[in-house]
Amino acid sequence: MDIALSRDPLSAWRIRPGELPVIAGPCSAESRDQLMRTASGLAACKIHVLRAGIWKPRTRPGAFEGMGTQALAWLKDAGRSIGKPVTVEVASAEHVRDALEHEIDMLWIGARTTANPIVVTSIAEALRGVDIPVMVKNPINPDIGLWLGALERFANAGICRLAAIHRGFSTENTGKYRNEPIWRIPLELKRRLPALPLICDPSHITGSADLLLAVAQNALDLLFDGLMIETHCDPSAALSDAQQQITPAQLSALLGRLARRDPSNGSDEYRAQVSSLRHELDEIDDSLIRLLASRMATARKIARVQKRNNVAMYQPDRWKETLRNRSREGEEQGLDRTFMMQLYELIHEEALRQKEDAK
Ligand code: PEP
Ligand code: MN
């Protein structure tokens, strides 16, 4: 389906020519004072939209679940105090009603909500006939269909100022990111909907303040159109996502260090392509390393069972069979036989060393 998008989906952001579109503000609205202090710090930063979560979808019960409707007026006032539009996450038709009553300027759909077509439909229906920008975060699982489907549901309800936010995907991995960025998915979305602005949320991707700059730069290298970065007047005291929030001063420094790419420049397009492929390689290497570590851990478990049963750790027949099977399987995948043999010699050598050490 073709989505009818406005010619300038980011018009409500009031971006001056050449500026990088940025949404900033706390993970959660905690008090009027926290929002006012954060906003006044942000007044000195090149940002366009003030954000805050009011109703917080927490993975486990018992965590801080947001201040609720009362905080909408605080957010609106904080935005007015610095002359910026404000945005909140809505996860139900009631949230939409409350947000519209408080003249919230734009809405975003959280990752958990995007994954639920029934809820998305009820939010979209609540917005029928309302002209408000809606930003749709990727679903928590890496499924482009759900992301596209949510955007289509809003488009069907007449919302034409849409944007997509990449906040990473929830995977089983224990890598360095809280939510794995899978860049090819937002890039594929952009290929299918070229007029759709792509925003990157490095805060929820990294889960950690010290990784924000690198991921934000990756996003700009891939020609993303803007950023959403969680910012708090006192990050260490934040009631949610404390580790990933930065102060307005830190945000200013981060924005100052980002290099912009010019999409009209052919060589930048080349760079974006190479950069996307390199990110894919990095992700694959990351998985390879984790798989190797987990293979070694299993070898150590085997060693413990063997020791308990007084069995030798090196079993020549098993090793011959492994080597034969792996090099055949590698060949079937187009990998060189000698390369496979050498690789497995190395893996086996290290596994034996680790088995010796296993207690
Ligand atoms: C948020 O932006 O604070 C949030 C809860 O995000 P996500 O839906 O990406 O988890
Ligand atoms: Mn958050």
pLDDT of 267 > 90? The answer is: no
In this structure, the answer to whether residues 249 and 316 fall within a common structural domain is no
Instruction: Kindly report the three-state secondary structure assignment for every residue of the chain.
Output: CCCCCCCCCCHHHCCCCCCCCEEEECCECCCHHHHHHHHHHHCCCCCCEEECECCCCCCCCCCCCCCCCHHHHHHHHHHHHHCCCEEEECCCHHHHHHHHHCCCCEEEECHHHHCCHHHHHHHHHHCCCCCCCEEEECCCCCCHHHHHHHHHHHHHCCCCCEEEEECCECCCCCCCCCCECCCHHHHHHHHHCCCCCEEECHHHHHCCHHHHHHHHHHHHHCCCCEEEEEECCCHHHCCCCHHHCECHHHHHHHHHHCCCCCCCCHHHHHHHHHHHHHHHHHHHHHHHHHHHHHHHHHHHHHHHHHHHCCCCCCCHHHHHHHHHHHHHHHHHCCCCHHHHHHHHHHHHHHHHHHHHHCC
Among protein residues, the one with the nearest Cα to ligand 1's atom 6 is 110
pLDDT of 269 > 80? The answer is: no
The pLDDT of residue 173 is 66
The pLDDT of residue 315 is 86
In this structure, the answer to whether residues 284 and 233 fall within a common structural domain is no
Q: What average pLDDT does range 106-122 have in this prediction? A: 98
In this structure, the answer to whether residues 280 and 249 fall within a common structural domain is no
pLDDT of 172 > 90? The answer is: no
Q: Which pLDDT band holds residue 1 (cuts at 50, 70, 90)?
A: low
In this structure, the answer to whether residues 217 and 275 fall within a common structural domain is no
The pLDDT of residue 263 is 66
Best residue among 23, 56, 89 to mutate for probing ligand 1's pocket (most ligand atoms within 8 Å of CB) is: 89
Q: Final residue of a domain: which of 226, 257, 288?
A: 257
The pLDDT of residue 279 is 82
**Whole-structure pTM value:** 0.80
Among protein residues, the one with the nearest Cα to ligand 1's atom 2 is 27
DSSP-derived pairing of the beta strands 106-109 and 49-51: unpaired
* Structural domain contains residue 263: no
Tens digit of each residue's pLDDT (9 = 90 or more) over 214-262:
999 999 999 899 999 999 999 999 999 999 999 999 999 999 999 987 7
pLDDT of 104 > 70? The answer is: yes
In this structure, the answer to whether residues 240 and 280 fall within a common structural domain is no
Q: Which pLDDT band holds residue 268 (cuts at 50, 70, 90)?
A: low
* Structural domain contains residue 262: no
Range of the domain at 333: 268-357
Cα 203 to ligand 2 centroid, rounded to whole Å: 7
Q: Final residue of a domain: which of 224, 257, 290?
A: 257
Q: Which pLDDT band holds residue 266 (cuts at 50, 70, 90)?
A: low
Cα 315 to ligand 1 centroid, rounded to whole Å: 51
In this structure, the answer to whether residues 172 and 276 fall within a common structural domain is no
Among protein residues, the one with the nearest Cα to ligand 1's atom 4 is 110
| Proportion of the chain above pLDDT 70, given as a percent | 97
In this structure, the answer to whether residues 94 and 147 fall within a common structural domain is yes
* Structural domain contains residue 5: no
Average pLDDT, the chain: 93
Token digits of residue 85: 């539009």
Tens digit of each residue's pLDDT (9 = 90 or more) over 274-324:
878 888 888 899 889 999 999 999 999 999 999 999 988 888 899 999 999
Q: Final residue of a domain: which of 213, 235, 257?
A: 257
pLDDT of 107 > 90? The answer is: yes
In this structure, the answer to whether residues 205 and 287 fall within a common structural domain is no
Total domains present in the chain: 2
Among protein residues, the one with the nearest Cα to ligand 1's atom 1 is 27
User: What CATH number does residue 303 fall under?
Assistant: 1.20.59.10
Residue in 79, 63, 59, 30 with CA at minimum distance from that of residue 245: 30
Among protein residues, the one with the nearest Cα to ligand 1's atom 10 is 111
The pLDDT of residue 280 is 85
> What is d(CA 142, CA 253) in angstroms, rounded to the nearest whole number?
32
The pLDDT of residue 312 is 87
* Structural domain contains residue 239: yes
End-to-end CA distance of the chain: 59
Q: Which residue type, as a one-letter code, is found at position 254?
A: L
Tens digit of each residue's pLDDT (9 = 90 or more) over 176-215:
899 999 999 999 999 999 999 999 999 999 999 999 999 9
User: What CATH number does residue 203 fall under?
Assistant: 3.20.20.70
Cα 236 to ligand 2 centroid, rounded to whole Å: 14
In this structure, the answer to whether residues 252 and 277 fall within a common structural domain is no
In this structure, the answer to whether residues 251 and 287 fall within a common structural domain is no
Give the list of residues 6+ apart from residue 180 with CB closer than 8 angstroms, or none: 168, 169, 170, 171, 173, 205, 283
* Structural domain contains residue 303: yes
pLDDT of 151 > 90? The answer is: yes
In this structure, the answer to whether residues 273 and 188 fall within a common structural domain is no
> Cα dihedral sign for 159, 162, 167, 169?
positive
* Structural domain contains residue 249: yes
Verify whether ligand 1 is closer than 6 Å to residue 27 (CB atom). yes
The pLDDT of residue 174 is 65
Cα 4 to ligand 1 centroid, rounded to whole Å: 26
Tens digit of each residue's pLDDT (9 = 90 or more) over 4-51:
999 999 999 999 999 999 999 999 999 999 999 999 999 999 999 999
In this structure, the answer to whether residues 117 and 206 fall within a common structural domain is yes
* Structural domain contains residue 1: no
Residue in 6, 24, 18, 15 with CA at minimum distance from that of residue 248: 24
Contact present, 74 and 54 (Cβ < 8 Å): no
Cα 321 to ligand 2 centroid, rounded to whole Å: 50
